[in-house]
Amino acid sequence: MQIWKVSSATKFEYDQLSLIRMDDDLPKLKIFKGKSLSNIWTSIELYRYKKKKKCDAPNLFSGLLALTQSSIDKLDDLIGSSVEYLPVTCADRYKDLKLVNVLNVLDALDYDKILYRENNVTIEKYPFIEEKVKGQHIFKVYEDQTHSEASVSLRIFVSEEFKNRVLELGLKGFSFGKIWDSESELINSFYGYEEVDV
């Protein structure tokens, strides 16, 4: 079993998006911590600040996943019960774009085996508990035992099945890094053991 981190369009050949009203809307993007936002969400306005190739998951900010409606339609059976899709306003080629708010936050780490980077804050190696991530296709984790909102990971994790679905369907703009493999202890989780960009 493998767990992968996922992010949007880190390749520079794809469109990159930014906020039109940075001061007003940036705080809204910092509250994606596993709780539903649909009742309080007001759409944010985006624009293409780096105009490149269109893709299914254009880059916005670290820790966020933005998906086109066509990619949502192809992935929803795997992730729909674990996320909510929040509308954004984006003129041009991304009129149907949604932000993915991951609601599935798991207590799935063996806290005694976490390895930190030299700063003692950033996790270098994520020791997942296999029984707790089995069958989970998209999730975040509590990075410490407080299980507080502040301990919810910025990173979004996905199953191998999710990664393979993206590859099989030829979806573009995703970046994957293998974070954990039940068959190997040698994975450096911070950078990812194996990178796959599509």
Report pLDDT for 50.
86
Predicted confidence (pLDDT) per residue in 59-72, tens digit: 988 789 999 999 99
Predicted confidence (pLDDT) per residue in 145-160, tens digit: 888 888 898 899 999 9
β-pair type (156-159, 138-141): antiparallel
Domain count, the chain: 1
Predicted confidence (pLDDT) per residue in 70-99, tens digit: 999 999 999 999 999 999 999 778 999 999
Q: How far apart are CA 17 and CA 65, in angstroms?
A: 12
Q: How far apart are CA 48 and CA 93, in angstroms?
A: 9
pLDDT band at residue 189 under the 50/70/90 scheme:
low
The 8 Å CB, 24+ separation contacts for 34-41 are 34/102, 34/103, 34/104, 34/105, 34/140, 34/149, 34/152, 35/103, 35/149, 36/84, 36/101, 36/103, 37/84, 37/86, 37/101, 38/84, 38/86, 41/86, 41/87
Predicted confidence (pLDDT) per residue in 35-59, tens digit: 999 999 998 999 998 889 999 999 9
In this predicted structure, the answer to whether residue 191 has a pLDDT above a threshold of 70 is: no
In this predicted structure, the answer to whether residue 185 has a pLDDT above a threshold of 70 is: no
Report pLDDT for 68.
96
Q: Which tokens is 168 given? A: 């099989």
Q: Which tokens is 44 given? A: 């944010």
Report pLDDT for 196.
77
Kindly state the percentage of the chain with pLDDT values over 90: 59
Predicted confidence (pLDDT) per residue in 122-179, tens digit: 787 889 999 999 999 999 999 988 888 888 988 999 999 999 999 999 999 999 988 8
Range of the domain at 163: 2-197
